[in-house]
Structure 1
């Protein structure tokens, strides 16, 4: 866990350009998501990129990203996730060996998991109190739980609490996914 780094947005933009080019116009949108997308929020130094697709087609998408060195993560949790009680397809890619650390998440543009990632980002950008509390929680957790799997297991229910606040915020201001 490191303090927010102002170079993260520019690093995302470089990644996004490569991804958009390799996906040959198939991406509905390429979004900077996760903690590195929230100014002022401590994060792991790993850029999270969400590529919203009209549909996920492994036979098409994996070769397109493999052509520029991205490797499809083989773990089962990198192909499916539950969001808003729905099982959602996804693909997660690791960067080329030796490249900047990142996770590239391909998600269907209308899926609740794509919405979740954007709501998380926008809520924490907008609410300073929530951002500070979430950052402090993550820093304490990282110090006390160094195992990444355990860290994720503990963080998951806390994320649900955070996102309940995000949903209230979204309803109060009429927030919607841009480009949906």
Structure 2
């Protein structure tokens, strides 16, 4: 069984993102429309696994594979099993809306999950809105952090099992985030 370690928030995570994003931008060049800090380490005060999540936004589906090629050329590892996100209830069911690529850091480097998604797709918006909603709702972020701490204590066969448990909880946060986005005129 894999142990999931949820750590206290680290005020250096934004600086670590900046450093990593420079490497990613340098490798991807113009194929990357944007590079964003996403996930729990992007939310101030939120407990998290000590793994930076970054999202690279590309213009089209063929650019997903171009980005993977460029990242693997600098020794990042492509995770073939993670080529889509879970569909979210109430959002488009079209498989293309959830396509992604995932690469991870070279061995013995700072742990990073680099999610590569297509601009305007549901999964690209989800990551950014989820982050911004938690940043604007610290009580919700704290409740989510407590869930993660408790969930991490459960026995899991893999980190994927932990992620599968979190998905519906994240969706429960995301659905009111859509209402918040409409009220506040939030945009990507």
Same fold (TM over 0.5): yes
Task: Using the TM superposition, give the Cα deviation of residue 145 of structure 1 relative to its aligned residue in structure 2, in angstroms.
Answer: 4.1
In structure 2, what is the Cα distance between the partners aligned to 1:4 and 1:146? 23
In structure 1, what is the Cα distance between the partners aligned to 2:165 and 2:71? 32
Structure-2 residue corresponding to 1:92: 102
Greater strand share, 1 or 2? 1
Q: 1:5 to 1:59 in 2, by over 3 A?
A: closer
Divergent runs of 4+, >3 A: none
CA contact (8 A) 1:41 1:131 kept: yes
Task: Using the TM superposition, give the Cα deviation of residue 175 of structure 1 relative to its aligned residue in structure 2, in angstroms.
Answer: 0.8
RMSD: 1.5
In structure 2, what is the Cα distance between the partners aligned to 1:94 and 1:14? 15
Answer 1 or 2: higher relative contact order, Cα 8 Å, separation at least 6.
2
In structure 1, what is the Cα distance between the partners aligned to 2:133 and 2:176? 9
Task: Using the TM superposition, give the Cα deviation of residue 61 of structure 1 relative to its aligned residue in structure 2, in angstroms.
Answer: 2.3
Structure-1 residue corresponding to 2:3: none
CA contact (8 A) 1:94 1:103 kept: yes
Count of aligned pairs between the two proteins: 175
Q: Does 1:14 align with 2:23?
A: no
CA contact (8 A) 1:90 1:107 kept: yes
Gap runs ≥5 in structure 2:
1-5
In structure 2, what is the Cα distance between the partners aligned to 1:22 and 1:149? 28
Structure-2 residue corresponding to 1:135: 145
Q: Deviations over 1:11-68 (max 9, x none)?
A: 1111110111111221110000000000000000000000000013355222211121
Task: Using the TM superposition, give the Cα deviation of residue 150 of structure 1 relative to its aligned residue in structure 2, in angstroms.
Answer: 3.1
In structure 2, what is the Cα distance between the partners aligned to 1:86 and 1:135? 31
- Corresponding residue to 1:159 among 151, 164, 170: 170
What is the SS of the residue equivalent to 1:51? strand
Structure-2 residue corresponding to 1:47: 52
Q: Does 8-17 or 145-154 show the bigger shift? A: 145-154
- Corresponding residue to 1:111 among 121, 124, 144: 121
CA contact (8 A) 2:31 2:66 kept: no
- Corresponding residue to 1:60 among 57, 61, 66: 66
TM-score between both structures, scaled by the size of structure 2: 0.87
